[in-house]
Chain A
Amino acid sequence: MNFDDTPQEAEFRAKARAWIDANAPKQYESDLRKASLGRVVLKDANVLDVAKAWQKKKADAGWAVPHWPKEYGGRGASPIERVIWQQEEGVFGKLTAMFIIGQGMCGPTMMAYASEDQKRHYLPPLGSGEKVWCQLFSEPAGGSDVAGLRTRAEKDGDDWVINGQKIWTSGAHYSDYGILITRTDPTVPKHKGLTMFFLDMKSEGVEVRPIKQANGNSDFNEVYFTNVRIPDSQRLGGVGDGWNVSLTTLMNERMSIGANVATGFPELFDYCNSLTLDGTPALDDRAVRSKLASWAVKASGLKYTSFRSISALSKGQRPGPENSIGKLVAGSMIQEVAMYALDLQGAAGVLSGPEDADVAGRFQAMLLRSPATRVEGGTDEILRNIIAERVLGLPGDIRVDKDVPFNQIPTKGRA
């Protein structure tokens, strides 16, 4: 048992570290350190611009998507080297948030199902951040139950004609392309009539309407499709095979999102470390200590769980569904942490302006953003189902809609 790199890993790490040291946008380092869930603010600069510039610089040196094959813009790094890169990129990795969906989910799906020409054309600019991609899966009728989606694709000559609506599409308002799952056959059971495509978000008939979120920001959107034409050559996988294709995407979602989830603990500990309550250090307070200790062991438990996964990766094994615990634990934790940080501020905890609130309102922003963590990319309940079924081997839910033709499934709850 040890934490040492193998000689090859150490060599890779040294190379990555040297390059980052020489090239990272260090003028933003301290702002990025202060950034947390719900708030990334850079002094005198727009986050998107800085993020794109950093991504491009990495791409020019082969570091943008190190684990992708060279011909698609990567450097063919192994899974463990990818982890080492992320460790070394550290706080600058916070700049990659806007690329995670595209590079983490759309890219691998393209890699698995697009033609060779398409891969060479579309993947390098996706890796370099010059083109941004979004994931058009969820619909009003199906989020957890994605396979309940209703957006139609109908064949017309060499094209498909798309009509319907997606929702919760992160980044659609600044995306150039998207991967889109549709229903091509409503007369068969729901998982069997789906087909996947990729499309240009500037296509005629695509309308993106930002949704104002509960925290006041607008990071996700509704996307409407009215007679949008997609050439058959942009189909990913067979007609009716969309469910299997989407599993590729969702499996990669697990790998990229599960890797390094925010718990809010380091922020809370720092805060308590500098806080006084009634004239004595907060860290001397028994109740504060007890709360912190319980969260500390969750945070360290997650950290060392990921170390165990990394060790498995390093031996060439694939991470399994047990990685679902990361977001499940961190999601509720960051929400509770934020509430507690406000509680420590007394009545003034209600103030959220950067000038009035402690630590520039970072915990107030965290509080307001955190409910989404428990929903996006698989809700807490869905993650518990996955653990129960895939890890513990308990029976699947009884599915009343499984073998029923899609167009005969009821669509209303209470009449």
Chain B
Amino acid sequence: MNFDFSDDQKQLRDQARRFLAEKSPPRAVRAVLEGKADYDRELWKGLAEMGFLGVAIPEEFGGTGAGYLELCVIAEELGRALAPVPFASTVYLAAEALLIAGSVEQKQKWLPKISSGEAIGTLALFEGTGNPSPKAIKIAASNGTLSGTKKPVADGAIADFAIVAARTGNSGREADISLFLVDLKAGGVTAKPLQNVDPSRQQAELAFDGAKAEPLGAAGEGWSILSRVLDRAAVLIAFEQVGGADRALEMGRDYALDRIAFGRPIGSFQAIKHILADMYVSATLARSNCYYGAWALSTDAGELAEAAAAARISATQAFQHCAKQNIQVHGGMGFTWEFDCHLYYRRSNALALALGSQSYWEDQLIDRMRQKNAA
């Protein structure tokens, strides 16, 4: 058994960590958080130059074709650094949808631009509150055009194109849903940035008014493609969450060692030690679930759906737990704008919802376990 990343992959992780420590320090995250930029363009360019945007995109489409395990280690570092860029929308969602269902022309048109950092993509799935579900999709496609509204759409206001889930039938089944690729710069779409709990990553409303939409994948296949995209993205976002959880734990540990109260470092009080020990436990469980997700993703295993859901639930719990307790360890300082604790707290709660709430992933997990059990 070799249930670990290879030495090369670990080196890539170190390289990504050094790169992001320099290019995505808290100062850069705050610039976006405070509205001085809608995303970090310098960082985006740098990620492209490092080859990180195309790490799981085959060479024939402009990527490096290194693979998903490589993408996982990069995702972890992006999460640790809270990178204020549309990486998840573009790489985990849009690029993966193209890779799974795009025509050769569509791939040739968009994937090289993703790898080079020229195009930002996103997935327009949600229409207000509620979890991913065919029934929740109201926006309809007719005669190659789309009309209706999607929100929230991550990075919708800075994206060049979107993969849009829309209704092409009314049978009440999954086959009603199809995917479309919309060039957001080609007219018929209005994007409006929306306030959100983590402004270091953007959310938007996209209003389509007769926007030109080309099919992505076969008609009626939209939901099954989407499910696969969401599973893959779940693993990758889980790695971001584990990176964030680890960083929050480190911040708490470091503060506990330095802060003196009652004549002692607060890290010598068991109340604080046990908080930090529990953070370590949840981060470790999440990491281990993520490794299994990484294996399933990289081998396109039949277990991917179950592994992705487990990684997703575990990593969501761990990041929320670590981010929240990191503030607790910091006392009053943890509740200031100046300390970085709230950046992690915000991100942990935004990522928790990025692909639908916990209950969606709980359903995915239990359904798969049940199927496996019946088999």
A interface residues (Cβ-Cβ under 8 A, vs B): 1-5, 9, 269-270, 273, 283, 286, 289-290, 292-294, 296-298, 300-305, 307-308, 310-312, 314, 322, 325, 328-329, 381, 383-385, 387-389, 391-398
Interface residues of B (CB under 8 A from A): 1-6, 69, 249, 253, 256-257, 264-265, 267-268, 270, 272-274, 276-278, 280-281, 284-286, 288-289, 291-292, 294-295, 298, 309-310, 313-314, 317, 358-359, 361-363, 365-366, 369-370, 373
Describe A's contact surface by its main secondary structure: helix
CB–CB A384/B288 < 8 A: no
Residues of the B chain whose Cβ atoms lie less than 8 Å from the Cβ of A397: 268, 270
| Cα–Cα distance between A396 and B267 once the two chains are bound (Å) | 9
Which of these, B273, B285, B362, contacts A388 with CB under 8 Å?
A: B273
Q: Is the interface of B mostly helix, strand, loop or mixed?
A: helix
Extra contacts besides A1-B291, A293-B366 (10): CB < 8 Å = A5-B1, A298-B285, A301-B284, A301-B285, A301-B286, A301-B314, A311-B4, A384-B270, A385-B270, A395-B267
User: What are 25 A-B contacts with C-beta separation under 8 Å?
Assistant: A3-B1, A270-B373, A290-B358, A297-B289, A298-B285, A298-B314, A300-B288, A301-B286, A304-B3, A304-B292, A305-B284, A314-B1, A385-B270, A387-B281, A388-B274, A391-B277, A391-B280, A392-B253, A393-B257, A394-B257, A395-B264, A395-B265, A395-B267, A395-B268, A397-B268
Q: Is the CB of A296 within 8 A of B291?
A: no
Decide: A305 near B365, CB < 8 A? Known: A294-B313, A384-B278, A394-B273: no
* A residues in contact with B1, CB < 8 Å: 2-5, 9, 307, 310-311, 314
Assess the A308–B273 pair: CB atoms within 8 A. no
- Write out the residue numbers on chain A whose beta carbons fall within 8 Å of the beta carbon of B298: 1
State whether A308 and B278 are in contact (beta carbons under 8 Å apart), knowing that A289-B363, A289-B366, A398-B268 are contacts in the complex.
no
Contact A385 B273 (CB under 8 A): yes
Q: What chain A residues lie within 8 Å of B289 (beta carbons)?
A: 297, 300-301, 304
- CB closest chain-A residue, reference B316: A297
Residues of A with C-beta under 8 A to B249:
392
**Contact yes or no, B359 A286, CB < 8 A:** yes
> Would you give the shortest CB distance from B286 to chain A, in whole angstroms?
7
Residues of A within 8 A of B288 (CB): 300-305, 307-308
Contact yes or no, A394 B366, CB < 8 A: no
CB distance from A192 to the nearest CB of B (A): 24
Are A329 and B281 neighbours in the complex by a CB distance under 8 Å?
Answer: yes
Q: Which B residues are in CB contact (< 8 Å) with A388?
A: 267, 273-274, 276-277
Nearest chain B CB to A384's CB is how many angstroms away? 4
Interface centre among A329, A393, A394 (most CB of B within 10 A): A394
From residue A267, how far is it (CB to closest CB) to chain B in Å?
Answer: 13
Contact yes or no, B280 A296, CB < 8 A: no
| Contact partners of B291 in chain A: CB under 8 A | 1, 304, 307-308
Residues on B with beta carbons closer than 8 Å to the beta carbon of A396: 268
Closest to B282 in A: A301
Kindly provide the distance from the CB of B325 to the nearest chain A CB, expressed in whole angstroms. Answer: 13
Chain A residue with Cβ nearest B286: A301
Other-chain contact of B362, A2, A269, A290, A391 (Cβ < 8 Å): A290
Nearest-CB residue, chain B, relative to A293: B362
Cβ of A325 and Cβ of B3 under 8 Å apart? Answer: no
Partner of B253, one of A301, A303, A312, A394: A394
Residues B285 and A305 in contact, CB atoms below 8 Å apart? yes
Beyond A381-B274, A384-B278, whether A296 also contacts B3 by CB under 8 A is: no
On whether the beta carbons of B268 and A297 are closer than 8 Å, the reply is no
Report Cα–Cα, A383/B6, bound state, in Å: 31
Minimal Cβ-Cβ distance residue in A for B268: A395
